[in-house]
Amino acid sequence: MSKRIVVDPITRIEGHLRAEVVVDDDGVVTDAYISSTLWRGLEVIAKGRDPRNVPLLMQRICGVCTYSHYLKSTMAVEDALGIKIPLNAELVRTLMNAALFLHDHVVHFYHLHGVDWVDITSALKADPKKASELAFKYSKNPIATGENDLIKVQETVAKFASNPQGLGPFANAYWGHSTYKFTPEQNLIALSHYLKALEMQRLAAQLMAIFGGKNPHPQSLVVGGVSCVMDILDPARMGEYLTKYKKMADFVHNAYLADIKMAAEAYKDEPSVTKPMGVRNFMAFKDFKVGRDEYLFDSGYILKGDLTEVLEINEDLITEEATHSWYQDDEPQHPYDGTTIPNHTGFVDGESIGPDGEMIHSKLIDPDGKYTWIKSPRYDGQPMEVGPLACLLVGYAKGNTIIKDAVDGFLKETGLPLEILFSTLGRTAARSLQAGIVADNAIKAFHNLIENLKVDQDTCAPYVIDNDKEYKGRGIGDVPRGMLIHWIRIKNGVCENYQATVPSTWNAGPKDANGVRGPYEADLLNLQIADVTKPLEIIRIIHSYDPCIACAVHVMDTKGNKLAEYKVDPLYGGVCNT
């Protein structure tokens, strides 16, 4: 008999997310539903505001991707007003973006995703000497894995473990779960890196703050360029960036990438992470400008995992619909006249497997009704996965040499087939490879900036907003969590309409009207769960997408309309005629 498992709250993500699966008697997932349980309505709030205020407002969509929305929103306003920003400004933005990628991916792997892979309690049994030697297997210059370092880490954890109150944030997790595959020594290495990464993420944040003023929520992008001209012209400041960048890059190579290789080795035979993914369509957009015409990542999309063909993106084919989302549906025949109004139908009463294995009363998702604040974006009717994996696959298929070298190098070192990329393990590995690419190549932007400053010190382009004119534009690119688009319309000198198409929306969206699932839901199908009271496998899969749910939830759309044409209703984000 099939039973329901509810996982809510899914912790170690940004935002509020619930996963629900139906399992059969063997613990195999037969159906899955993903629900976001918070709605804030920021696009509605953007309406009627000065376009220069909007990027700061949109930045507050998310404090984890704290720079992504700020950047794309600023680019959207610039695109609308037809501003070409100075090269210096573009390169400084790239340097800040590099800081974000390095910060975000490291924090995600260690502090958010990490304990899905690493059993902290097992690290206690490790032999620190052996672990210290083992670390050289994955890196020539391992970080924080000296024997003494590891002994200290063990002592700290031992004290926690011996005191149930002391476990604090580590209490009551799925320790000892059968799908933890690291040896005690490997766990110890990763745990030491977990603690070291707490220090490193501060450094990466400083890296962004050098040009951004602060982190989270940096504050130096202005429409037309950047405001931090004094810091750019200060050689000591530039030196600070370079030094901290190198330290961060070193950590990415000798801790992060090393641990991923270790994980690839340990987990390559674990079915719950190597299970082929459900949606094999991938989409990414060109980003990471490091020189006048040089980008690290490419645009395009791939269907059905076919790496021989990369198709060009036509933004007009991006649609969203709300069949299973908590918004009122519109009549398809009157697409522009309806309004999209929140329509929270809540959950239904039922039973699910409780923490002790018995069935307990719960609020459940009604799979036939509406069950999430996230909508279902589709490209030409197809669900798409976005994110670092999509970025790498598109680049790989396009023959981007930087990406090809990184991917092939990883596969060669680990001895894994290309097919492994189409799995949870592949997704997690792709993120680290992307961090490695940024760590190796973003510094080109730094050197190009220095070269350009010799002849040109412009950091901001002048512009005027004509109140009598109407403008529309969009900012697009690949941010740490995938392809992000912001769309703006400006009329009477104020924001008339605002939309965002966000990576986690693509990945976490519910079924569409045709019953086609999005990547999260499709990926959970056929998953074998070892212990239904401790669904670590579910968490691991969902975390591998790096969910950012505050980002994913937003107002827009009617059934299957062009996103760029949507208008937000003054109260709730409906669609007006354009």
- Give the residue with the Cβ less far from another protein, 511 or 534: 534
Strand partners, 364: 348
Minimum Å distance from CB 70 to another protein? 11
Query: C-beta of 399: minimal distance to another protein in Å?
Result: 37
Taking the least distance from each CB to another protein, the nearer of 314 and 492 is 492
Candidates 11, 30, 178, 514; binder of another protein (CB under 8 A) is 11
Of residues 538 through 567, those in contact with another protein by CB under 8 A are 539, 550
CB 179 within 8 A of CB 270: yes
CA triple 181-187-189, angle to 5 deg: 140
Identify whether the C-beta of residue 258 lies closer than 8 Å to the C-beta of residue 131: no
Residue 472 CB, shortest distance to another protein, in Å, is: 15
Does 14 help bind another protein (rule: CB under 8 A)? yes
Q: Give, for 60, the enclosing helix (H) or strand (E).
A: none
Give the dihedral sign, CA 258/261/265/269.
positive
- The mark string for 230-259 relative to another protein (x by CB under 8 A, - otherwise) is xx-x--------------------------
Identified binder of another protein from the candidate list 3, 7, 266, 336, rule CB under 8 A: 7
What is the per-residue DSSP string for 188-240? HHHHHHHHHHHHHHHHHHHHHHHHHSSSSS---EETTEES-HHHHT-HHHHHH
Among 22, 37, 98, 325, binds another protein (CB under 8 A): 37
Of residues 467-526, those binding another protein (CB under 8 A): 467, 491-494, 496
Buried b (16+ CB within 10 A) or exposed e, 50-71: ebeebbbbbbbbbebbbbbbbb
Residue closer to another protein (CB basis): 265 or 521: 521
Shortest separation between residue 161's beta carbon and another protein, angstroms: 11
Among the listed ranges 53-61, 428-436, 480-488, 515-523, the one in contact with another protein (CB under 8 A) is: 53-61
Nearer to another protein, 240 or 315 (CB): 240
Rg (CA), the chain: 24
CB 540 within 8 A of CB 470: no
DSSP 420: G
Q: Nearer to another protein by C-beta: 202 or 334? A: 202
Cβ proximity of 69 and 551 under 8 Å: yes
CA torsion sign for 164, 169, 174, 175 is negative
Which one of 165-173, 254-262, 400-408, 421-429 is the stretch in contact with another protein (CB under 8 A)? 165-173
Residue 560 and residue 198: Cα distance in Å, rounded? Answer: 43
* Number of amino acids touching another protein (CB under 8 A): 113
Smallest distance, another protein to C-beta of residue 227, A: 4
Contact letters for another protein, residues 87-116 (x by CB under 8 A): --------------------x---xx--x-
| Spatial separation of the C-alpha atoms in residues 55 and 134, rounded to whole Å | 47
Enter the DSSP assignment of 134.
Answer: H
With CA atoms as reference, report the closest residue to 551 among 371, 319, 298, 373: 373
Q: Which of 74, 94, 122, 220 binds another protein (CB under 8 A)?
A: 220
- Cβ pair 67, 97 in contact under 8 A: yes
Per CB under 8 A, 458 contacts another protein: yes
Question: Amino acid identity of 545?
Answer: Y
Q: Write the interaction track for another protein spanning residues 293-332; mark x where CB under 8 A is met and - where it is not.
A: ----------------------------------------
Instruction: Judge contact between 23 and 5, C-beta under 8 A.
Output: yes
Q: For every residue of 318-386, which 3-state class applies, written as one string?
A: EEEECCCECECCCCCCCCCCCCCCECCCCCEEEEEECCCCCEEEEEECCCCCCCECCCEEEECCECCEC
Does residue 23 bind another protein (CB under 8 A)?
A: no
53 scored as a contact of another protein (CB under 8 A): yes
Q: How far apart are CA 396 and CA 298, in angstroms?
A: 9
d(CA 192, CA 195): 5
Per CB under 8 A, does 453 bind another protein?
A: no
Q: Which residue has the tokens 């040896």?
A: 183
Q: Which CB atom, from 169 or from 417, has the smaller least distance to another protein?
A: 169
Per CB under 8 A, the segment of 52-60, 127-135, 478-486, 521-529 that binds another protein is 52-60
50 belongs to the binding site for another protein (CB under 8 A): yes
Neighbours of 412 (CB within 10 A): 9
Residue 570 binds another protein, judged by CB under 8 A: yes
User: Pick from 125, 129, 137, 202: which binds another protein (CB under 8 A)?
Assistant: 202
Among 21, 32, 34, 61, binds another protein (CB under 8 A): 61
Q: Can residue 387 be called a binding residue for another protein (CB under 8 A)?
A: no
User: Which listed residue (82, 235, 355, 417) binds another protein by CB under 8 A?
Assistant: 355
Q: Of the candidates 179, 215, 319, 340, which one interacts with another protein according to CB under 8 A?
A: 215
Binding flag, residue 152, another protein (CB under 8 A): yes
In 3D, which of 282, 288, 289, 283 has the Cα closest to residue 315? 283
**Considering the rule CB under 8 A, would residue 161 count as an interface residue with another protein?**
no
Q: Does residue 450 interact with another protein by CB under 8 A?
A: no
Torsion of CA 356, 358, 361, 367, to 10 degrees: 100
Binding of another protein by 42 (CB under 8 A): yes
Supply the residues annotated as catalytic: 14, 62, 65, 69, 481, 504, 548, 551
Binder among 25, 82, 140, 172 for another protein (CB under 8 A):
172
Among 28, 229, 303, 513, binds another protein (CB under 8 A): 229
Six-digit token pair at 483?
């392809």
Near another protein by CB under 8 A: residue from 70, 211, 282, 506: 211
Task: Determine contact, residues 245/207, Cβ cutoff 8 Å.
Answer: yes
Least distance to another protein from the beta carbon of 273, Å?
17
